[in-house]
């Protein structure tokens, strides 16, 4: 496409070049596979090394440490579960920072809080490296289909340089300015996602317990201004009772982590988040029942029993 050729002309990551990828969970694995299939030579690392096997079969190379990935690649993408994992992999022994030198670039696509992002950014910048935070909106299927929305912030030159990678992994990329803004935008969006999911669940319960049919509710919902792909996907999950860990597209523990971080941000900026607070309590209750590795829609049976 013309967009792609403009990006390439302005000095983007070259086709077929080496790209590092650290973190092969539900999202990371799908994203790394898409980069490998698009012709990049992907060098991978994951804490549980067996998760690298599928990528290696597709032609990727596995490295022993995060530092080894960074030393082999000019640009490395990071996709980890939470702030603690990011700090450990970035700044711990054999971590990313130990291999940073001028010319090395890190694109962190994990969902973390702004403070964690800034901390890692400062450490990488201090050694002459470049850092971009680029958390994503979208879960397992959009990751597999290369349909994520990518929220870039930080080094704008690196954002431009990474655009060819974003074109493979996502359908839309935005640049949001200074470091921390990508993290904040992601938390705002996911806070709404959690609240929407719980409201949807309560609405199904109210519907059924007052003698209305669930499928008729879904039909009416889908015909009006509240029509949303999210309700279609999660309505389908409720119909099929996709509550087991095997059915996960967005783990509940990650949803609750994002709500916790959003609530912390609300406190910091003095914005009351009453609905998000109640939503967080519902997910915590579901997690206390052992559902943390299930999809976030597994909150539904918990809400129905309340």
Catalytic residues: 186
With CA atoms as reference, report the closest residue to 151 among 114, 103, 123: 114
Strand, helix or coil for residue 179: coil
| SS3 annotation, 187-228 | HHHHHHHHHHHHHHHHHHHHHHHCCCCHHHHHHHHHHCCCCC
Place of tokens 């007052």: 210
With CA atoms as reference, report the closest residue to 289 among 278, 276, 303, 275: 303
Place of tokens 């996907």: 233
CA 194 to each of CA 109, 208, 245, 262, 270: distance values in angstroms, whole numbers, following the listed order = 20, 22, 18, 11, 20
Q: Which residues of 170-202 are buried (b: 16+ CB within 10 A; e: fewer)?
A: beebbbbeebbbbbbbbbebbbebbbbbbebbe
With CA atoms as reference, report the closest residue to 207 among 217, 198, 197, 199: 217
């Amino acid at each position: 496409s013309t967009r792609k050729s403009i990006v390439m002309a302005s000095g983007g990551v070259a086709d077929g070049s080496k790209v590092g990828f650290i973190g092969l969970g539900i999202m990371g694995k799908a994203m790394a596979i898409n980069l490998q299939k698009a012709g990049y030579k992907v060098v991978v690392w994951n804490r549980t090394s067996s998760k690298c096997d599928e990528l290696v079969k597709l032609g990727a190379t596995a490295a022993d440490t995060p530092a080894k990935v960074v030393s082999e690649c000019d640009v490395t993408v990071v996709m980890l579960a939470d702030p603690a994992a990011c700090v450990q992999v970035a700044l711990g022994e054999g971590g990313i920072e130990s291999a940073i030198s001028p010319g090395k670039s890190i694109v962190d696509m994990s969902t973390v809080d702004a403070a964690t992002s800034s901390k890692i950014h400062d450490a990488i910048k201090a050694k002459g490296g470049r850092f971009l935070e680029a958390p994503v909106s979208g879960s397992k299927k959009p990751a597999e289909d290369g349909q994520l929305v990518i929220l870039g912030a930080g080094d704008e030159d690196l954002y431009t340089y990474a655009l060819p990678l974003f074109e493979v992994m996502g359908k839309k990329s935005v640049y949001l300015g200074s470091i921390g803004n990508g993290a904040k935008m992601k938390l705002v969006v996911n806070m709404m996602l959690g609240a929407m999911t719980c409201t949807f669940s309560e609405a199904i319960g109210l519907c059924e317990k007052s003698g209305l049919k669930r499928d008729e509710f879904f039909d009416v919902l889908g015909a009006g201004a509240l029509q949303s792909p999210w309700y279609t996907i999660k309505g389908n999950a409720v119909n099929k009772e996709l509550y087991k860990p095997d059915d996960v597209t967005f783990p509940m523990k990650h949803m609750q982590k994002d709500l916790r971080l959003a609530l912390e941000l609300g406190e910091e900026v003095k914005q009351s988040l009453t609905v998000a607070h109640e939503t967080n309590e519902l997910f915590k209750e579901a997690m206390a029942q052992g559902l943390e590795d299930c999809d976030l829609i597994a909150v539904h049976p918990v809400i129905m029993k309340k």
